[in-house]
């Protein structure tokens, strides 16, 4: 009888052993947890955590040097059923769905202060927009969704409209997120990060395929806001190599590194937030020394990249970036021994930016996971974006444009960036020549940071540069020993400016139309 008498109240009891969108988002801690889940999608192994660093996004600066891979996006042999292409798509939409759910439900409680809500709203809006930026720049027309939904029959939105939505939401986010110095590290979205990425997004929209050239002035505006922000006090680290040592040793330098994807631990302890930066795209070493840092070394430099640096015929370059960016040695033995590469061994040289040895603070260093963070936006990139946009707006390089690019160059040669450096500084160029020099400067500074393909596509020179890189191998008579590099470049074609819409997604959503050429 007691059970029957309490039946009604029993059925009315709210569940306390699991959460729904109705009973979650009740305090600031729950908002933070939901926001962290959005960030987590960026570090997923299907994006920056592993696969994205080997998806051909370095274009003509690098190639995938594993000879037993016969197909796939890693060597520009892409099909619509490519697993990695499908993973990229689904993981971006996973992040978007998490952001949409958070944004739709974060006002469920009145217990959370407006300041906290606004900050979380700003970060979530920006992250959702960044996932859309990754999608539209790599796939073209895509479904654009801003509410939680189980609907799968959603048509594609044209790229121009997607970019307009991205920019609108990022501009709202810029007014809500915290200044970078208040945050104190580059792992969280800040005003500087939003402004710098807005410069990038506007440059993409100004270039191919949208070609809305009015966006150059917007790109210039947002980049200049980062440069001129005295409170943020962004500056170039005087030591180029130290930027990447910091990523490996879990040190933050918000003056230079504005936004980075965070990883922690090596999966051999209680932490499970390690990534695989340096494990696949580092200096090859499989010799077993636990203190050195195991790496598959799957990404190598090209001769096209090597020759952009001064003194390509010499083992050392006055441009100090070259011999950090492109590893000047091989590693073998236990204990590990470094052996200098010869001048003939250009294509055998690995990506040298993400070095594990001596720099990772988590031991041992011989596992499949590393704590190395990955740079998404650095101050040098902002300076170069400003110079590019300013050159377009003013129909030629202004004093400010020269200053921006020359600051990057001076640091690269080991000089103070605020003092003129004759012989290093650019001068006396017209608009076209300045742009061409700037395009090479972006490679010298940003190689292996998976920005190159997007740059080439928006400049409309993707196939020109991929063909030139292929010709560099063939004309040097290297065909017999460099089949893996040749296969990478010979596979590239005009349709590779964007990826195919994944076949699985088209099977689920009949509204999706395949991209031209695929």
Structure tokens, 195: 């402004």
In a domain, 301, yes or no: yes
Where does the pLDDT of residue 35 fall: very low under 50, low under 70, confident under 90, or very high at 90 and above? very high
Distance separating alpha carbons of residues 140 and 118, to the nearest angstrom:
31
Q: Is residue 209 located within the same domain as residue 147?
A: no
DSSP 8-state secondary structure symbol assigned to residue 324: H
The pLDDT of residue 482 is 83
More confident residue, 270 or 82: 82
Spatial distance between the Cα atoms of 244 and 206, rounded to a whole number of angstroms: 31
β-strand partners of 261: 374
CA distance 117 to 115: 5
Query: Comparing 88 with 19, which gets the higher pLDDT?
Result: 88
Give the distance, in angstroms, between the CA of residue 399 and the centroid of all CA atoms in the same chain. 30
pLDDT of res. 513: 98
- d(C-alpha 450, C-alpha 57), whole Å: 5
d(CA 153, CA 143): 9
106, part of any domain: yes
* Host domain of residue 382: 178-262+373-450
Quick one: pLDDT band at residue 476, thresholds 50, 70, 90? confident
Query: Is residue 431 included in any domain, yes or no?
Result: yes
Q: Is the pLDDT of residue 12 over 70?
A: no
Q: Is residue 17 part of a domain?
A: no
CA distance linking residue 342 with residue 76, whole number of Å: 29
Whole-angstrom distance, CA of residue 452 vs CA of residue 284: 23
11 has pLDDT over 60: no
Tally the residues of the chain: 518
Q: Taking a C-beta distance cutoff of 8 angstroms, is the pair 128, 103 a contact? A: yes
Same domain flag for 334 and 308: yes
Of the candidates 341, 329, 344, 322, the residue with the CA atom closest to the CA atom of residue 447:
322
pLDDT tier at 112, thresholds 50, 70, 90:
confident
Of 397, 399, 401, 421, which Cα lies nearest the Cα of 409?
Answer: 421
Percent of the chain with pLDDT over 90: 84
The DSSP symbol for 401 reads H
422-469 pLDDT per residue, tens = 999 999 999 999 999 999 999 999 999 999 999 999 999 999 999 999
Higher pLDDT pick, 42 / 4: 42
Dihedral pair phi/psi, residue 370, rounded to 5° = -135, 160
Q: Which two tokens stand for residue 391?
A: 């050159």
Task: For residue 50, give the nearest of 248, 282, 268 by alpha carbon.
Answer: 282
Q: What is the b/e burial string over 247-268, where b = at least 16 CB atoms within 10 angstroms of the residue's CB?
A: bbbbebbbbbbbbbbbbbbbee
- On whether residue 29 sits in a domain, the answer given is no
Tokens of 494: 């005009």
Predicted pLDDT at 10: 33
Q: Are residues 40 and 126 in the same domain?
A: yes
Pairing of strands 337-340, 62-64: unpaired
pLDDT at 5: 43
Does the CA dihedral 514-515-517-518 come out positive or negative? negative
Is pLDDT above 80 for 394? yes
Q: Is 337 helix (H, G, I), strand (E, B) or coil?
A: strand
Give yes or no: residues 236 and 275 share one domain: no
pLDDT number for residue 332? 97
Q: Looking at the structure, do residues 405 and 472 belong to the same domain, yes or no?
A: no
Residue 4 has pLDDT above 50, yes or no: no
Residues 147 and 56 in one domain: yes
Is residue 2 in a domain? no
In a domain, 357, yes or no: yes
pLDDT at 27 over 60: yes
**Per-residue pLDDT tens digits for 358-382:** 899 888 888 899 999 999 999 999 9
Mean pLDDT, rounded, of the chain: 93
**280 and 335 share a domain?**
yes
Examine the domain organization and report whether 441 and 481 are in the same domain: no
CATH of the domain at 418: 1.25.40.900
Whole-model pTM over 0.85:
yes
Q: How many angstroms from the chain centroid is the CA of residue 466?
A: 20
So what's the pLDDT on residue 7? 40
The full DSSP string for 206-240 is: HSTTT--TTHHHHHHHHHHHHHH-TTTT----S-H
Q: Which residue has the higher pLDDT, 313 or 26?
A: 313
Segment 490-504 mean pLDDT? 97
Find the CATH number of the domain harbouring 485.
1.25.40.390
Closest CA to 86 of 502, 511, 514, 507: 502
pLDDT at 20: 66
Integer Cα distance of 78 and 84 in angstroms: 10
Residues 130 and 45 in one domain: yes
**Could you tell me what percent of the chain has a pLDDT over 70?**
94
Q: Which of 392, 416, 450 is the last residue of a domain?
A: 450
- Total number of domains in the chain: 3
Q: pLDDT by residue (tens digit) across 250-273?
A: 999 999 999 999 999 888 877 678
> 171 in a domain, yes or no?
no
Q: Which of 340, 361, 382 is the last residue of a domain?
A: 361
pLDDT in tens, 116-159: 999 999 999 999 999 999 999 999 999 999 999 888 899 999 99
Residue whose entry in the numeric block shows the structure tokens 């470049």:
489
Choose one of 313, 335, 361: the last residue of a domain. Answer: 361
The answer to whether residues 73 and 184 belong to one domain is no
Q: Each residue of 322-368: pLDDT tens digit?
A: 999 999 999 999 999 999 999 999 999 999 999 998 899 888 888 89
Sole residue written with tokens 């010979």: 490
Q: What 3 state SS string does 100-148 have?
A: HHHHHHCCCCCCCCHHHHHHHHHHHHHHHHHHHHHHHHHHCCECCCCCC
Q: How does DSSP classify residue 74?
A: G
Q: For position 111, what pLDDT does the model report?
A: 84
Is residue 143 located within the same domain as residue 275? no
Residue 497 has pLDDT above 80, yes or no: yes
Contact in structure between 331 and 348 (CB atoms under 8 Å): no
Same domain, 42 and 155: yes
- Among candidate residues 126, 41, 92, 99, the one with its CA nearest the CA of residue 505: 92
Residue 337 makes CB contacts below 8 A (sequence gap 6+) with 331
**What is the Rg, in whole angstroms, of the alpha carbon atoms belonging to the chain?**
24
The 10s digit of each residue's pLDDT in 40-52 is 999 999 999 999 9
Q: Tokens 């300041």 sit at which residue?
A: 115
SS (H, E, C) 402-435: HHHHHHHHHHHCCCCCCCCCCCCCCCCCCHHHHH
Where are the alpha helices (H) located in 326-451, listed in sequence order? 379-393, 399-412, 431-446
Q: What is the pLDDT of residues 176-200, one digit of tens each?
A: 999 999 999 999 999 999 999 999 9
Q: Is the dihedral of CA 422, 380, 470, 327 positive or negative?
A: positive
CA–CA separation, 83 and 76 (whole Å): 13
Question: Over 90: is that where the pLDDT of 492 sits?
Answer: yes
Q: Report how far residue 282's alpha carbon sits from residue 279's, in angstroms, rounded to the nearest whole number.
A: 6
């Amino acid at each position: 009888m007691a059970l029957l008498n309490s039946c009604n109240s029993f059925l009315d009891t709210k569940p306390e052993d699991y959460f729904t969108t109705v009973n979650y988002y009740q305090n600031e801690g729950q908002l933070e947890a939901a926001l962290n889940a959005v960030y987590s999608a960026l570090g997923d192994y299907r994006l920056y955590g592993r696969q994205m660093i080997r998806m051909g996004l370095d274009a003509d600066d690098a190639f995938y040097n594993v000879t037993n891979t016969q197909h796939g996006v890693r060597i520009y042999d892409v099909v619509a059923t490519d697993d990695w292409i499908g993973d990229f798509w689904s993981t971006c939409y996973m992040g978007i769905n998490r952001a949409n759910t958070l944004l739709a439900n974060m006002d469920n409680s009145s217990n959370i202060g407006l300041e906290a809500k606004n900050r979380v709203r700003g970060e979530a809006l920006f992250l959702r927009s960044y996932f859309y930026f990754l999608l539209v720049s790599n796939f073209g027309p895509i479904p654009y969704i801003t509410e939680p939904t189980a609907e799968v029959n959603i048509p594609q939105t044209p790229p121009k409209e997607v970019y307009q939505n991205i920019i609108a939401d990022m501009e709202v986010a810029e007014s809500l997120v915290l200044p970078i110095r208040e945050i104190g590290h580059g792992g969280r979205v800040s005003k500087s990060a939003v402004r710098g990425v807005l410069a990038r997004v506007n440059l993409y929209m100004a270039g191919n395929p949208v070609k809305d050239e009015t966006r150059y002035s917007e790109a210039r505006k947002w980049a200049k806001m980062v440069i001129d922000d005295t409170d943020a006090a962004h500056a170039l680290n005087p030591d180029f190599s130290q930027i990447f040592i910091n990523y490996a040793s879990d040190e933050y330098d918000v003056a230079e590194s504005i936004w980075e994807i965070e990883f922690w631990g090596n999966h051999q302890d209680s932490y499970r937030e390690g990534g695989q930066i340096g494990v696949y795209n580092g200096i090859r070493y499989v010799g077993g020394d636990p203190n050195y840092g195991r790496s598959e070394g799957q990404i190598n430099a090209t001769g096209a990249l090597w020759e952009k640096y001064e003194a390509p015929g010499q083992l050392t370059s006055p441009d100090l970036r070259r011999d950090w960016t492109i590893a000047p040695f091989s590693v073998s033995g236990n204990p590990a021994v470094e052996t200098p590469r010869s001048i003939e061994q250009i294509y055998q040289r690995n990506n040298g930016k993400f070095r594990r040895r001596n720099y990772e603070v988590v031991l041992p260093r011989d596992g499949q996971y590393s704590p190395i963070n990955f740079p998404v936006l650095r101050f040098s990139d902002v300076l170069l974006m400003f110079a590019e946009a300013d050159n377009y707006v003013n129909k030629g390089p202004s004093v400010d444009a020269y200053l921006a690019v020359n600051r990057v160059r001076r640091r690269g040669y080991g000089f103070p960036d605020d003092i003129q450096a004759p012989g290093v500084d650019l001068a006396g160029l017209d608009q076209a020549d300045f742009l061409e020099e700037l395009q090479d400067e972006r490679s010298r500074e940003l190689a292996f940071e998976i920005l190159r393909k997007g740059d080439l596509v928006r400049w409309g020179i993707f196939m020109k540069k991929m063909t030139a890189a292929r010709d560099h191998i063939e004309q040097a008579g290297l065909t017999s020993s460099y089949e893996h590099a040749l296969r990478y470049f010979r596979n590239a074609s005009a349709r590779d400016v964007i990826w195919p819409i994944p076949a699985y997604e088209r099977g689920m959503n009949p509204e999706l139309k395949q991209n031209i050429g695929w």
